[in-house]
Amino acid sequence: MGFAVRTYNVLVYEPEAVRPELRIAEAVLASVEAKANTPFANVIIPGLAKLGLIPQGMSLEDFAARAHELPEAIAEKMAVPEGSSASS
């Protein structure tokens, strides 16, 4: 059973003249990033580590950098949606 990798296309613009207390772009981006990374950080990475396929405590950045090294059976379960690419 695979899972769909969700993609997000986020454009944030804040005019230079916006007062600091009204700046929300960083919070919005942090929220989108957390939502996108939660399944990997809380389920996928610990699961792969438990199986001994990756080191315990591997960061998301390290996981992404080594994604091409995942066993074929695992990689096949990580469907990439049409119109997206697996490269960063």
User: Does residue 32 sit within a domain?
Assistant: yes
Q: 3-state DSSP call for residue 79?
A: strand
Domain that holds residue 50: 3-79
User: Does residue 87 sit within a domain?
Assistant: no
How many Å separate Cα 42 from the centre of its chain? 11
User: Does residue 85 sit within a domain?
Assistant: no
User: Does residue 88 sit within a domain?
Assistant: no
pLDDT in tens, 47-56: 888 988 888 8
Whole-angstrom Cα distance, residue 81 to residue 6?
7
Whole-angstrom Cα distance, residue 73 to residue 69?
11
At 5 the pLDDT is: 62
Check residues 39 and 49 and name the one with the higher pLDDT: 49
Whole-angstrom Cα distance, residue 26 to residue 57?
26
pLDDT in tens, 44-85: 888 888 988 888 888 888 888 876 776 777 767 666 555 544
pTM over 0.85: no
Whole-angstrom Cα distance, residue 26 to residue 22?
11
